[in-house]
């Protein structure tokens, strides 16, 4: 228990879970005096949940345990083993691939790649000695396979005392001597209280297309959410956001009353694709929406490559990804982000496409 | 070390194994003053062995370690990875499937499902404060896969001080909002001293059929056992027991002299199928018989569904399964169970079928 | 810390790694007063590295962590999961198979088998009380799959105080009641400072053949090494060594100046095949050569069987494998081993084959 603080008393707790498939999982809980969030070093430095006042970011998954990757088999159920551990507010897909399972040439990929089920190394927590005393949790996630991959992601998740916000600053490096394709997906997931009937997604969107034919059915209402709906399953939309002159964009999810929400700010030159995943199934099934900035979309890498959406990293090269998540607790805050997004849009239109953005 | 007892001094020990693939496996040993049995929370609350006097329930598997599921890959050898950890007296197959590996539609199943290799949560041990002071080990085994499964099994394994018996009381709940198929198999396994040449299975059996054509060869002698037999491999029979007016049945394995045995009592409305697995191979290969009450038989789920033997659980619904295992230490006890089984049969015939009960 | 010694102060340290995929890995470091080497009980009693003075045996793999097998999925990437943990100076392939992945009949094999990712049991360290006080690390590695495999390898890795050498003494037993095929491969791996441009392999070789057509291109220069070479990937050669009257042979890798090297001495009746793996790719990719005595060659077991190179073990039978590794620190030592190899060769020729030794 560490409490320096000045206006805000903050604290940092590290603990290890025991029992069931949680055995040995390490968690770091940061309380900045207002926002409390939990990082999971054992699961690729994902974020289990974040909470400020009565607003929680995260969701209630049928997967109730924080599962140690030692008990995960990503190959299970034909490459869907990732679903045995999926319950975080934020889990990264990546790095050699980040999309759907199945063959890419002779390589059989598994859902969303391996990053989210890779225990992090060199985990450290620092607090800036000077004001504003930013609190930083750092870790390194490696995906190294002899001859095939040598990725290293240095992540920092940080927050300022008293703020209802946190920042993810990732640096992905190709340590190989060869140019390598990579994919990354920031699979951020939000349930109630933000998600509810008539909750809305707001973004400065240039183009929108359904992920598949089932999603095409409800294309008209793509930015609005249903309440928990039995047998709804999921619909997803692929979005290309507009950005401001600094290449920055903002996306928001707000509740039906537009008085609570979450804002996500990031750079479209770092993360050009944005997937909106509407899993408005019943509460018990996991009522949740994913707002997922990525290097592309979560189709299988073979499809993404064909569409020209698989970037590469030169030998030794790095890419940085920075995302800011802010909890919006009042109508004024939601309205301010709405205005911010309108400013980014600057009157430009959203083009609606009725077909999925794939070549097959 | 806890010893209340009155006539019987009982004790409960919990310990953790180290070394090899046993690393981190937790065991709970219950000594009720007469019977000693060992529960494995790390392996789905299976039972490693039970022993009273000179009679042991269990067997000597070539798998000599109590393997931590972290080191098991159920997908190995084409879905036979379960065989890398199989050595318990009692292991449950289940819950999304419990039979043979292979494709069921687009789903590739693995042998006997995942329950037996799932570490249990919320493990607790209680002793009733009032006589007869039942000793209870409880735990929860979850099989949760986002979108596919959300099963929770609450198990209690209990015994009375001084008795050569224990009871399994399981409650399987479908926590999903959708009706779900399930399968469960109580794979109870017995080697010497009960299993030997001319040992016998006794049950009130309405129908018997060979599991496959190899088993059909020895259909005439289905309830009798061979001694350890090189190159015998295994034969299995599918049985449908009769029950008494309370839907209860009893099965027994006794030795050649009919003066030692094990009785298994359970309800046929809970567990209609009974598989008799005769693995009377050599001692070193694992000389063992399985007496396996189940929701059906251990064919692949696709075959079981076609035969109408895959039950479902409504949203939120539970099914209970209760099995009593008793060690029989004298000729009188064996004879009494023989009479009990004859009473259940009540003169009704056993129908012998020469073909396996499958539709293909 | 244990230091008996007389002329040489030796020490033995055991420690456990934490963080990342190393979590829980146990290491044993033996310092015999001159040579320091590290055994990995958690990874099948492999040897991470050995070092005497400024000569290190081992290599820098892109896999920088000593990975706990709990985090390895051998089935990943179509059976190439072994590459996620490959960084040892010495890792054994085996025991049910030890070669390339892919189907062998209905069995889908994974690269180099399971031995290297199997935690060892019964690990013990002893020091002979009498001179010369041999230091011995022992462990047992089991590969047991009900009905399919029941192998037990008792290994001893030992050294004499003050010597720049260590010995591997393995005894592989088939505990099954049936004759079983087995394969074993001692995958010894060496990078700089021994491996460099114009480093050389020296052996008393009767026959040499390329492993595949890519290796056939450079057959003329098979015993010489390139410096780190971008896009070189790897070339391998299959070798059949000559032996002396005691069936013993010696292989050597020495640097370009022929003043530093490593000698490997073993019996060709125990290990008839020798694979020379030249992975002279860039430093960052893992610049390394493998000198790999084995029961055969690392083709898929189906190919090896067809070529008559898959040995069997009778029920209960054992085979012993003994290999001596010695660091050569001077020109005189290298020359002496060169002479020793010439003595084994005794003027006999090396037959060069242009085609891989496979029947398809």
ipTM score assigned to the predicted complex: 0.94
C181, part of any domain:
yes
The SS3 assignment for C249 reads strand
A325, part of any domain:
yes
Q: How many CB atoms lie within 10 A of CB B355?
A: 9
Give the residue-averaged pLDDT of A267-278: 98
Residue C89: give the domain boundaries: 6-352
B6, pLDDT greater than 60: no
Q: Give pLDDT, residue C7.
A: 65
Q: Taking CB atoms and an 8 Å limit, are C175 and B62 in contact across chains?
A: yes
Q: How far apart are the first and last CA of chain C?
A: 55
Which residue in chain B has the smallest CA separation from A75? B75
The closest of C145, C211, C132, C210 to C175, measured between CA atoms, is C145
Q: Give pLDDT, residue B2.
A: 44
C1, part of any domain:
no
Cα–Cα distance, B182 to B98 (Å, whole number): 8
Cα–Cα distance, A358 to A304 (Å, whole number): 8
Give the residue-averaged pLDDT of A215-220: 96
Cα–Cα distance, A261 to A56 (Å, whole number): 10
Q: Closest CB to C84: pick one of A106, A145, A176.
A: A145
Contact A160, A132 (CB under 8 A): yes
Q: Give pLDDT, residue A284.
A: 96
Q: Give pLDDT, residue B27.
A: 98
Distances (CA, A) of C281 to A312, B75, C215: 21, 33, 14
Q: How far apart are the first and last CA of chain A?
A: 55
Query: pLDDT digit of tens for each residue in chain C (360 aa)?
Result: 344 445 678 999 999 999 999 999 999 999 999 999 999 999 999 999 999 999 999 999 999 999 999 999 999 999 999 999 999 999 999 999 999 999 999 889 999 999 999 999 999 999 999 999 999 999 999 999 999 999 999 999 999 999 999 999 999 999 999 999 999 999 999 999 999 999 999 999 999 999 999 999 999 999 999 999 999 999 999 999 999 999 999 999 999 999 999 999 999 999 999 999 999 999 999 999 999 999 999 999 999 999 999 999 999 999 999 999 999 999 999 999 999 999 999 999 999 999 999 975
B42 burial level (CB within 10 Å; 0-12, 13-18, 19+): buried
Cα–Cα distance, A8 to A147 (Å, whole number): 49
Buried b (16+ CB within 10 A) or exposed e, A90-111: bbbbbbbbbbbbbebeeebbbb
C360, part of any domain:
no
C339 token code pair: 């002479």
CA B359-B219-B190 angle, 5° bins: 100
Q: Give pLDDT, residue B8.
A: 75
- A220 Cβ contact list (under 8 Å, min separation 6): none
C43, part of any domain:
yes
Q: How many CB atoms lie within 10 A of CB C248?
A: 17
Q: Taking CB atoms and an 8 Å limit, are C145 and B77 in contact across chains?
A: yes
pLDDT tens for each residue of B248-302: 999 999 999 999 999 999 999 999 999 999 999 999 999 999 999 999 999 999 9
A229 token code pair: 């709906």
- A59 Cβ contact list (under 8 Å, min separation 6): A87, A89, A189, A190, A191, A192, A195, A286, A287, A288
Q: Give pLDDT, residue C9.
A: 85
Q: Taking CB atoms and an 8 Å limit, are A150 and C284 in contact across chains?
A: yes
The pTM assigned to this predicted structure is 0.96
C99, part of any domain:
yes
Buried b (16+ CB within 10 A) or exposed e, C130-148: eeebbbbbbbbbbbbbbbb
Cα–Cα distance, C130 to A322 (Å, whole number): 64
Q: If you ran DSSP here, which 8-state letter would residue C99 be given?
A: S
A1, pLDDT greater than 50: no
Lowest-confidence pick of A296-305, A351-360, B89-98, C160-169:
A351-360
Which residue in chain C has the smallest CA separation from A68? C71
Tell me, letter by letter, the H, E, C secondary structure of chain B: CCCCCCCCCCEEEEEECCCHHHCCCEEEEEECCCEEEEEEHHHCCEEEEEEECCEEECCCCCCCCCCCHHHCCCCHHHHCHHHHCCCCCEEEEEECCCCCCEEECCEEECCCECHHHCCCEEEEEEECCCCCCCEEEEEEEEEEECCCEEEEEEEEEEECCCCCEEEEEEEEEECCCCCEECEEEEEEEECCCCCCCCCEEEECEEEEEECCHHHHCCHHHCCECCCCCCCCCCEEEEEEECCCCCCEEEEEEECCCCCCEEEEEEECCCCCEEEEEEECCCHHHHCEEEEEEECCCCCCHHHHHHCCCCCEECCCCEEEEEEEEEEECCHHHHHHHHHHHHHHHCCCCCEECCCCCCCC
Chain A hits for C70, Cβ within 8 Å: 70
B66 token code pair: 């109590």
Cα–Cα distance, B346 to B350 (Å, whole number): 11
CA distance A205 to chain C (A): 37
C129, part of any domain:
yes
- β partners of residue C116: none
Residues on B contacting C at a C-beta cutoff of 8 Å:
19-24, 61-65, 68, 70-71, 73, 75-78, 80, 83-84, 86-87, 230-231, 233, 281-286
Q: If you ran DSSP here, which 8-state letter would residue C115 be given?
A: G
The SS3 assignment for C285 reads helix
pLDDT tens for each residue of B184-197: 999 999 999 999 99
CA distance A253 to chain B (A): 23
- B102 Cβ contact list (under 8 Å, min separation 6): B79, B108, B109, B300, B302
Cα–Cα distance, B1 to B30 (Å, whole number): 10
Tally of residues, chain C = 360
Residue with tokens 């590469």: A312
Band (pLDDT 50/70/90 cuts) for residue A3 is: very low
CA distance A335 to chain B (A): 34
Asked, as a colleague might, if the bond just before B221 is cis with ω within 30 of 0, I would say: no
Q: Taking CB atoms and an 8 Å limit, are B144 and A63 in contact across chains?
A: yes
Q: Taking CB atoms and an 8 Å limit, are C71 and A145 in contact across chains?
A: no
Residue C240: which H helix or E strand, with range? strand C235-241
- A312 Cβ contact list (under 8 Å, min separation 6): A179, A180, A181, A182
Q: Give pLDDT, residue C6.
A: 53
pLDDT tens for each residue of B101-119: 999 998 899 999 999 999 9
pLDDT tens for each residue of A18-33: 999 999 999 999 999 9
Q: How far apart are the first and last CA of chain B?
A: 55
A357, part of any domain:
no
CA distance C209 to chain A (A): 24
Q: Give pLDDT, residue A99.
A: 98
Buried b (16+ CB within 10 A) or exposed e, A307-335: eebbeebebeeebebbbebbbbbeeebbe
- B76 Cβ contact list (under 8 Å, min separation 6): B84, C74, C75, C110
B270 token code pair: 């809970």
Instruction: List chains adjacent to chain B, taking adjacency as at least 3 C-beta pairs closer than 8 Å.
Output: A, C
Number of domains in chain A: 1
Q: Give pLDDT, residue C359.
A: 76
**Mean model confidence pLDDT for chain B:** 96
CA distance A286 to chain B (A): 8
**Mean model confidence pLDDT for chain A:** 96
Question: Which value, in Å, is the radius of gyration of the alpha carbons in chain A?
Answer: 19
A166, pLDDT greater than 60: yes
Residue with tokens 């070093």: A41
pLDDT tens for each residue of A182-208: 999 999 999 999 999 999 999 999 999
B3, pLDDT greater than 70: no
Question: Which value, in Å, is the radius of gyration of the alpha carbons in chain B?
Answer: 19
- Identify from C140, C145, C152 which residue to disrupt to test chain B contact, counting B C-beta atoms within 10 A and taking the largest count: C145
Residues on A contacting B at a C-beta cutoff of 8 Å:
19-24, 61-65, 68, 70-71, 73, 75-78, 80, 83-84, 86-87, 230-231, 233, 281-286
B203, pLDDT greater than 80: yes
Q: Give pLDDT, residue A359.
A: 76
Q: Give pLDDT, residue A193.
A: 97
Cα–Cα distance, C200 to C261 (Å, whole number): 9
Cα–Cα distance, B166 to B321 (Å, whole number): 14
Q: How many CB atoms lie within 10 A of CB B167?
A: 18
CA distance C98 to chain A (A): 18
Buried b (16+ CB within 10 A) or exposed e, C236-246: bbbbbbbbbee
Instruction: Identify the CATH number of the domain in which residue B27 sits.
Output: 2.70.98.10
Residue with tokens 């056939």: C216
Q: Give pLDDT, residue C3.
A: 46
């Amino acid at each position: 228990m560490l409490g320096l603080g000045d206006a805000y008393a903050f604290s940092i707790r590290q603990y290890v879970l025991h029992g069931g498939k949680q055995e040995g999982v390490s968690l770091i809980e940061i309380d900045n005096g207002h926002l409390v969030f939990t990082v999971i070093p054992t699961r690729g430095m994902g974020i289990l949940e974040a909470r400020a006042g009565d607003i929680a970011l995260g969701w209630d998954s049928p997967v109730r345990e924080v599962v140690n990757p030692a008990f995960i088999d990503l190959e299970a159920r034909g490459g869907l083993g990732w679903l045995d551990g999926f319950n975080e507010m934020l889990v990264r897909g990546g790095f050699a691939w980040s999309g759907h399972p199945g063959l890419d040439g002779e390589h059989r990929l598994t859902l969303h790649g391996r990053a989210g089920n890779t225990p992090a190394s060199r985990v450290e927590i620092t607090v800036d000695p000077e004001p504003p005393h930013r609190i930083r949790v750092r870790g390194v996630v490696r995906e190294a396979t002899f001859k095939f991959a040598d990725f290293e992601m240095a992540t920092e998740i940080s927050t300022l005392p008293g703020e209802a916000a946190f920042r993810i600053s990732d640096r992905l490096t190709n340590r190989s001597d060869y140019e390598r394709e990579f994919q990354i997906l920031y699979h951020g997931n939000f349930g109630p209280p933000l998600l509810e009937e008539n909750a809305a997604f707001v973004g400065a969107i240039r183009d929108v297309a359904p992920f598949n034919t089932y999603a095409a059915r409800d294309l008209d209402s793509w930015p609005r959410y249903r309440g928990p709906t039995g047998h709804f399953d999921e619909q997803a939309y692929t979005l290309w956001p507009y950005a401001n002159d600094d290449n920055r964009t903002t996306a928001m999810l707000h509740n039906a009353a537009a008085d609570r929400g979450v804002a996500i700010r990031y750079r479209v030159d770092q993360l050009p694709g944005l997937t909106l995943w509407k899993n408005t199934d019943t509460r018990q099934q996991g009522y949740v929406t994913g707002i997922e900035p990525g290097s592309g979309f979560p189709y299988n890498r073979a499809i993404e490559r064909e569409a020209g959406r698989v970037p590469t990293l030169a030998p030794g090269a790095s890419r940085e990804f920075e995302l800011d998540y802010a909890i919006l607790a009042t109508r004024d805050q939601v309205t301010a982000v709405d205005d911010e997004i309108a400013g980014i849009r600057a009157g430009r239109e959203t083009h609606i496409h009725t077909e999925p953005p794939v070549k097959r």
